[in-house]
Amino acid sequence: MGMTKYQRVFLQLLPTGLAWNKDPDKTLGKLAGALADSPEQDAESIEKVLSERFPDQSTVLLDDWEKWLGLPDCTSAGQTIEERRTAAAEKYRMVGSLNRQFYIDLAARYGFDIEIESFSDGAYATCMDNCLTRLRKNYGRFTSHIIVKNHIDYRNATVLDNCLTPLRVYSGGVLECLFEKYKPAHQVFIYIYQ
């Protein structure tokens, strides 16, 4: 029987002499072999843990990565391990921003074509404007319209719905969920589906 690497190292650390028979088949060699099993398993575990350092390579610690990154989010239901790794890696590398392009890019990543219309103090119709000028409710400076340009499926409200249900219920829930998650607390988004 051959010696393992850790068994050999353990035997080399012992003193030399007639009382220290380092033959692997003798009692001391077998003891060294038994003691070498634990460090050998630890070394294998360390190699596995090193591959778990980043979410795109993780398997064992993927649940911990997801918990730390706040996943699963609005889009993660029923994903494979590889899709979960990809989502975790994207979230890990994602840099948030408060500018309009961040939200346009985020929507595009999930297949939505949007336009963002922000309000400022002078963005409202007045009595001096043309009669065809669109009137706007005074939402405030921290309110924006998210205009979704691509077709979104919808259903009409029925008598079984709550009285506060809109007349059309759109299935843009993924987009709304993502934006609500990444927007600043003071920002209000109003979604318009075209």
pTM of the model: 0.60
Task: Work out the burial of residue 1: count CB atoms within 10 Å of its CB; fewer than 13 is exposed, 13-18 middle, 19 or more buried.
Answer: exposed
Query: What is the rounded average pLDDT for all residues in the chain?
Result: 83
Amino acid 105: pLDDT: 92
pLDDT in tens, 175-190: 888 888 888 888 889 8
Report residue 103 as tokens: 């939200």
pLDDT tens column, 63-117:
999 999 988 877 666 788 998 898 899 889 988 888 899 999 989 988 899 999 8
How much is the pLDDT for 102?
92
The Cα 54–Cα 114 span in angstroms is 32
Q: How far is CA 33 from CA 2, 17, 181, in A?
A: 10, 20, 55
